[in-house]
């Protein structure tokens, strides 16, 4: 990953996925989908452009409002693939951590139930 790209891993992955699936999405639509402010979304898009992961092309619609289409470059497609694999590992680690935490809570609850029954 280029040193200039400082996006949080999850945001980077979600944004690359959104752009691959909906290249004609507006920044406002991307902002809503990501749960980010419009300014933060614009900043993230600029970082992806600067990294060479997306290209931006003007796109005119029937209402004559200027819009843009975002296209993943070859480097962007490779980055998305890496980001997807990394996100999968992060999520699997998170699930394993949660499973351990749930098991600890079950044991704790069982101990509490046992002491409540015996101390009643």
CATH of the domain at 90: 1.10.10.10
Residues near 48 by beta carbon (within 8 Å), at least 6 away in sequence: 5, 7, 12, 15, 16, 19, 54, 76
- Look at residue 64 and tell me if it is in a domain: yes
Residue 63: its pLDDT value, please?
Answer: 67
- Look at residue 120 and tell me if it is in a domain: no
- Look at residue 102 and tell me if it is in a domain: yes
- Look at residue 1 and tell me if it is in a domain: no
pTM: 0.72
- Look at residue 92 and tell me if it is in a domain: yes
16-35 confidence digits (pLDDT tens): 999 999 998 999 999 999 99
Range of the domain at 84: 9-115
């Amino acid at each position: 990953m280029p040193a200039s790209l400082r996006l949080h891993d999850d945001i980077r992955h979600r944004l690359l996925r959104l752009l691959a699936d909906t290249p004609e999405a507006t920044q406002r639509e991307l902002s809503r989908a990501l749960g980010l402010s419009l300014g933060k979304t614009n900043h993230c898009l600029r970082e992806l452009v600067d990294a060479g992961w997306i290209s931006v092309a003007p796109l005119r619609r029937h209402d004559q409002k200027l819009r843009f289409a975002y296209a993943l470059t070859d480097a962007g497609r490779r980055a998305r693939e890496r980001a997807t694999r990394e996100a999968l590992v992060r999520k699997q680690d998170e699930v394993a951590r949660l499973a351990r935490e749930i098991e600890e809570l079950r044991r704790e609850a069982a101990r509490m139930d046992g002491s409540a029954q015996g101390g009643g």
